[in-house]
Chains A and B, each alone.
Chain A
Amino acid sequence: MSNNNPNNASGKDPHLLLQSAPLLHQKLTTPAAMKDVWIALLPASCASFWFFGISAVLILLTSIAGAILTEWIFTPTEKRRFALSDTSAGLTGLLLGLTLPAGIPLWMAFLGGMVSIGLGKVIWGGLGSNIFNPALLGRAFLLGTFPIAMTTWVSAGDLSDFFQLHSSNLALPFMQGQLDAMSEATPLGLMKFEQQVTSFGSLFIGNTAGSIGETSGFLIILGGIYLFLRNAINWRIPVAILTTAALFSLILLLVDNQQYPSPLFTLFSGGLLLGTFFMATDPVTSPLTPKGCWIFGIGIGFLVVLIRVYGGLPEGVLYAILLMNAATPLIDRYTQPRIFGRDKQNLKNNNKADK
């Protein structure tokens, strides 16, 4: 395989190439697939603007800028244009931004974007080589480094007008600003620490406290449906996650309906929907094989409920997905599909038969 096509052998038809078949390709390209994800995130992003105002706009812009700038800095000069042309860096920044609280200082969002791309992607070898979802890795970094800023929530729709900015957004680098001035617990926090159930209507529409992009269940599902119809994501993963999470919480509900939330609350609260449709389905960090996708999804669904119910944190989507990301190479190795015309069990015997 070489990029230089040898010319026609006899030299009589020098314009003829020897490009080997197949000469037909389907039309979808990787950048186009990325575009689909951008489009699918549009409703959730708009919801974040609606509920959290100018703060959300600035957070998304800074985290995207941090991500793109890092990709630009750490990519060799001759590959820069190419690396940025697939828009995956900006997408990572957008996904990270959507998981941040509205009151976060902008410099933290920027730093998060840098960490997402720098430690989440570039260091592994760029697009396609990373083990962990870059956006979630960035969020994990922020959560570990700035626990207060990352868990001080602002209620959605409390703004008097669109341009009202949270003062903490503009904190100087390495400062946290006045964070707890308008703090409010998320539906998951209320559930875990105060046994208070948020109404399904609020969770569905999105006027609750939480990360700027995760509150509106309806609009996230809209984006998810778009991805389904465009065949842009592996349908097995969301189906497996949501079914497992719902079933597991249903079992818990049947055990004790005072202490544990309903399946519907489990699905629509916190970042489960956003994580399910946009992060767990990241093809790079999810298994290749169909069976592997089921295991991956079931693992996430199970871990999310486990962490939420029995863990110290109210929310578990982040760590559930990262843990399953780590298990992905192993899952892939043990779920290789049975090759046509071969027995699954006797790989070794099959090898002997070849000789």
Chain B
Amino acid sequence: MLKFFSNFSFNDSFAHGVHPPHHKEATEDLSIQRVPFVSHYIMPLGQHIGIPSVPVVVVGDKLKRGQMIAKSKGFISTALHSPVAGRVKNIGMYRYVDGSFREAIEIESDPYATQQFSGQASDVLNMDINAFIDAVQQSGIVGMGGAAFPSHVKYSIPKEQKITDILVNGAECEPFLTNDHRLMVERPETVLRGCEILRQQLGAARVTIGVEKNKPESIAQLQKFLTDDIPIDIAPLEVKYPQGAEKMLIKSIYNKELPAGKFPRDLGIAVNNIGTIVALADYFDHGMPLIERIVTLAGPGMESPANLIVPIGTPIRDVLDFAGGLKKETREVIMGGPMMGNPIADLDAPILKGTSGILAFTEAETARPVEYPCIRCSRCLDACPYFLNPSRFALLARARLFEDMQEKYHVMDCVECGACTYACPSNIPIVQHIRTAKDALRNIKVDA
């Protein structure tokens, strides 16, 4: 019955989308714990979108916790900092989460160090915008929702444009993940402080924090610390995937459609993740660069789910060991959420700046379901928040008509949220086909 009525949406939200079970019960009430320091850390130089950082240390250098170890190269790049006090052990090729080898700095931690961090607060509210952007680039802060796009690039607004609204993404629509939720519950004041810093620096009129309604505790905590004189709104959002996608969030909150190929700043909006906002506040109020983040450990294959503060660079295996490890029946470990995350090819790869969760899945989720022919039921069209035609994409991708997919159906507009694949009763790996096609199209572009 409910399924039928879900055809009609009466509330202010983006159209279409799917309703996967949110599975947040296991970790939503677990407070954030700190992972103890381990012996080795691996800091890949290219863990953000853009040009990889350039090391500023050499093998053997002694490091303080939070000391810069790599600087940004060019504008769309950011800095790296040592997550521990220790010594540079090696600069070489290390396995990345996807199984490839990437250049990284290996740090051996000093077992006798106190690991006390000492930094200085800066007078951020009186800083000029260029100094602010520079400081953010120095801090190594990137978008913490998963994409890891250097934040200072977002804050560099061309002169002719003006930011009027700051949108803080606390939707956390991916099932299982609770890292943003716990930040809002445990550090609401820091969240609000970060919002205020950003609002003043960008000269925006208002800040809106969008939170899905399945996190009432987050909403209540934020509201508790909100006073009338702070221009911050909390917007409860319909629980629907992908509510946390940038364009969907803008649609849900401002009822504006971000045109294809445009950025939120073209609408006068700056979108930031909760984690990013907290990192900003920590950097400007305590001088702490981005050297640790909150990671949710969950999933049916996880021995004991948890929300952890993990120093960036900690090998995933060490984090798992601390939390109790994987269950025997675990068949796959994912970085990020179950809808858009990436499978981890090597558990010795490190936690990255963009790692929101480590999820373990068993046979039940990873067994490839029997695939049936497409019966054109149009459930994928009804799921796609971008109003694309996933059914057609799957068909064309199979025929390897990739150029048709772009020219006639705009496959590059797809953000690979996976809603179509979730909704498909024939279990067709639609989004996987789309990824193949997008990859092929990018290669065609490069060749041409």
Tell me the A residues contacting B by CB distance below 8 Å: 1, 3, 6, 8-10, 12-13, 15-26, 28-33, 82, 86, 126-129, 228-231, 234-235, 283-284, 286, 288-290, 293, 336-342, 350-351, 353-354
Contacts and interface: CB of A to CB of B under 8 A. Distances in A.
A351 B377 CA distance: 28
B340 A337 contact: no
Nearest to B397: A1
A23 B361 contact: yes
A19 B348 contact: no
Interface string B406-417: 110110110000
Contact of B372 (A8, A22, A127): A127
Interface string B319-363: 000000000001111101111111111111000000000000100
Nearest to B344: A16
A229 B4 contact: yes
Given A30-B375, A339-B260, A21 B338 contact: yes
Contact of B332 (A23, A129, A288): A23
B441 to A, nearest CB: 10
Interface stretch (B54-62, B157-165, B192-200, B429-437): B429-437
B257 interface: yes
Contacts of A82: 370
A113 B3 CA distance: 34
A126 B334 CA distance: 36
Contacts, number: 190
A237 B427 CA distance: 25
Contact of A24 (B3, B251, B339): B339
Interface in B100-143: none
Nearest to A288: B378
B78 interface: no
Contacts of A235: 4, 7
17 contacts: A10-B346, A10-B348, A17-B331, A22-B339, A22-B421, A26-B20, A26-B422, A30-B372, A31-B372, A33-B425, A129-B373, A231-B7, A286-B376, A338-B387, A339-B386, A339-B387, A340-B413
Contact of B376 (A12, A128, A229, A351): A128
A19 B418 contact: no
A37 to B, nearest CB: 11
B446 interface: no
Contacts of B418: 21-22
B426 A30 contact: yes
A168 B390 CA distance: 50
B57 to A, nearest CB: 26
A12 B342 CA distance: 19
Contacts of B302: none
Given A10-B346, A21-B340, A22-B339, 7 more contacts: A9-B346, A17-B366, A24-B21, A29-B369, A128-B375, A289-B378, A290-B381
Interface size class of B (residues with CB under 8 A): 35 or more
Given A17-B332, A20-B435, A351-B407, A336 B425 contact: no
A288 B391 contact: yes
A3 B368 contact: yes
Given A23-B332, A354-B261, A336 B338 contact: no
A17 B333 CA distance: 8
B425 A30 contact: yes
Contact of B343 (A19, A129, A293): A19
B67 to A, nearest CB: 30
B257 A340 contact: yes
Contacts of A228: 4
A259 B95 CA distance: 82
A12 B346 CA distance: 8
Interface in B212-250: 247
Given A18-B332, A336-B409, A341 B422 contact: no
B258 interface: yes
Contacts of A351: 407
A9 B99 contact: yes
Interface in B385-410: 385-389, 391-392, 406-407, 409-410
Contact of B260 (A3, A13, A33, A353): A353
A10 B247 CA distance: 38
Contacts of B51: none
Contacts of B347: 8, 10, 12-13, 16
Interface string B40-63: 000000000000000000000000
B146 to A, nearest CB: 11
